[in-house]
Amino acid sequence: MRADQRSYGGSTFSWMWQSSALDAMRSLASLELNDFDVLVLPGHLWHLEMDQAARRTLATTLRAEGLRIESLNIPALDHNLASCVPEVRAYSIALFSRVMELSADLGARGVVAVPGRVSSLFPPPQADARALLADSFEQLLKVAERLQQVVFLESHPQTSLPTFDLIEAFMKHVDHPLLRVAYDVSNAEFVGEDQVSAIHQLAPWLGQVHLSDGTRDRWRHDRVGAGTVRFDAIEAALDEIDFKGVRILEIISNTPQSDFAASQAALATR
């Protein structure tokens, strides 16, 4: 696949403290990006701040302007689907369920779910963490079935599933058509895994790929070219598996407009 045939989306992460989600999407659209991963938090886009009339108005505006939401994404510090505390898991499941309802109302495909943070100093046994996480996802997937939403499990270094082999085992264990993987290449770089092998191994479940740069020494989401991620190899691997999902630029920056543009230009050469 040629670079000009690939589908790129954009994350509103860099705009979440300074503008509404709609204004962030408009900024990304000015760079010819679409299929957005939209952060969900008060003041940016928040389910409790939008009644049904506001949801209908936003959905109408999105259609009129040709803006497409791929997924909604709750910041990972605000929930924990793998918590050993039942009340925390119950809150997290309820939060994701409400955000899935918002996603359906706005015509989005689904929600991105970080699979529960664990302590880096003394995490629970892997089997215990996986059992708690599986229970949470099985409950979420019942909601997803009702709403016809996709749940994108994101690879993340601070969770019980930081690497692709653990993600693969979990996907086989839960085994649901509405559960897909959102593979984050910068997160993968930080944990030191081979992203090309991961892409091939996770191909049957791959729903999104999050693109930003980083290193194996520092956890970053920088513009493409600022770190050590091998985007040429990653793009080639995605083409080899005939990836049909969205490649989402997830740059976290105080100067997002220029950094997104620089990243697009760099990817056009891969």
- The pLDDT value given to residue 1: 64
Structure tokens at 13: 């992460």
Give the C-alpha separation, 68 to 109, whole Å. Answer: 9
Give the C-alpha separation, 26 to 32, whole Å. Answer: 10
Q: By the 8 A CB rule, do 135 and 92 touch?
A: no
* Nearest alpha carbon to residue 116 among 84, 73, 149: 84
- C-alpha angle 15-21-23 in degrees, rounded to nearest 5: 80
What's the maximum distance between 2 C-alpha atoms anywhere in the chain? 50
* Nearest alpha carbon to residue 127 among 169, 175, 88, 93: 169
Residue where the block lists tokens 């693109």: 211
Cα distances (angstroms) measured from residue 241 to each of 150, 198, 203, 236: 21, 12, 7, 9
Give the C-alpha separation, 64 to 266, whole Å. Answer: 31
Structure tokens at 207: 């729903």
195-198 contacts, C-beta under 8 A, 24 or more apart: 195/229, 195/230, 195/233, 195/234, 195/237, 196/230, 196/233, 196/234, 196/236, 196/237, 197/164, 198/155, 198/163, 198/164
Q: By the 8 A CB rule, do 146 and 115 touch?
A: no
Task: Decide if domain 3-267 falls under CATH 3.90.550.10.
Answer: no
In the chain, which residues have pLDDT < 70?
Answer: 1-4
- The pLDDT value given to residue 4: 63
Give the C-alpha separation, 40 to 71, whole Å. Answer: 10
Domain ranges of the chain: 3-267
What's the whole-model pTM score?
A: 0.97
